[in-house]
A = this chain, B = another copy of it.
Amino acid sequence: MVRKSTSKETARKPNMREAILAAAEELFAINGFNAVSVRDIAQAAGANPGSVTYHFKTKDGLLLEIYRRHCGPMNLRRSELLAAARRVRDLQDRLEAIVRAYVVPAFTSGSDLAGGGARFTRLRAVMSAEGNEVARKIIAQTFDDTSHAFIDAIHESLPHIPRADIVWRSHFLLGALYYSLVTPERVSRLSRGEADGSDAAGAIEQLVQATVAAFQAPALDQTAPARRRPALSSKT
């Protein structure tokens, strides 16, 4: 409280560790884990390569710390919003509130961390695509509980839909969410400027609206042997 920072991003010397974390987060989220070297991170943070080793021991350790930094606040925020959503009476409104509780923190959580949660969610998307081992372990540990909680909540508000269908649809939701953060410029390009893929609020509204409708789609009758199922090679 006593020491005021210069309020510029070139903070004099409050925490080199934080600078490295921020730089790594940004670079990993944009270029992936493997394409970014420790030297790249150090340079972006204005630090020495050896300093990264000192604070985080290894490159994996650095990624691990990034996850640790974000997972807690994000899942906490999700839990709060989910709890509130569960109390919504109208089933339609409740479903929307649940979806919103899942989506919003992915764009905005970690409000104290500059840049918000969107960058971290993008990082998760990229790590997922790269099949990063460190990320995979943390995800399974940290996010599966949350995912199950959301799936259960959605299932409660849509009792006539089989759980498997809900899992699929929430999977699609996560994929859509990830992809929106990975290539937002594609939306702008394909819409010829009518939509802005980088506008978080707009993306959230679109995503929530589309996803709620997807969840409400009729159940996929898996007992009936496929009404019509075209193409697809006959074997396998």
Report A's interface with B, CB cutoff 8 A: 30-32, 34-35, 81, 100, 104, 107-108, 111, 116, 125-126, 128-131, 140, 144, 147-148, 151, 162-165, 167-180, 182-183, 186-187, 189-191, 194-195, 197, 200-201, 203-207, 209-218, 220, 226, 229-233
Chain B: CB-nearest residue to A31? B131
Give Cα A220 to B207, complex, Å: 10
A-B contact pairs, 28 of them (CB 8 A): A32-B32, A100-B230, A104-B232, A108-B233, A126-B130, A129-B129, A130-B130, A140-B189, A144-B190, A151-B190, A164-B191, A164-B195, A165-B206, A167-B190, A168-B187, A168-B191, A169-B206, A171-B180, A171-B190, A172-B176, A172-B179, A174-B179, A175-B182, A176-B176, A200-B232, A209-B218, A210-B214, A213-B216
Complex contact A180–B175 (CB within 8 A): yes
Copies held by the complex: 2
**Chain B neighbourhood of A189, CB < 8 A:** 140, 144
Complex contact A191–B163 (CB within 8 A): yes
**Chain B neighbourhood of A163, CB < 8 A:** 191, 194
Chain B: CB-nearest residue to A190? B167
**Chain B neighbourhood of A218, CB < 8 A:** 209
Give Cα A163 to B193, complex, Å: 11
Give Cα A167 to B134, complex, Å: 34
Query: A213: which of B126, B214, B232 is its contact (CB, 8 Å)?
Result: B214
Complex contact B217–A213 (CB within 8 A): yes
Complex contact B30–A131 (CB within 8 A): yes
**Chain B neighbourhood of A170, CB < 8 A:** 190
Complex contact B148–A167 (CB within 8 A): no
- Please give the distance in Å from A124's CB to the nearest CB on chain B: 10
Complex contact A187–B171 (CB within 8 A): yes
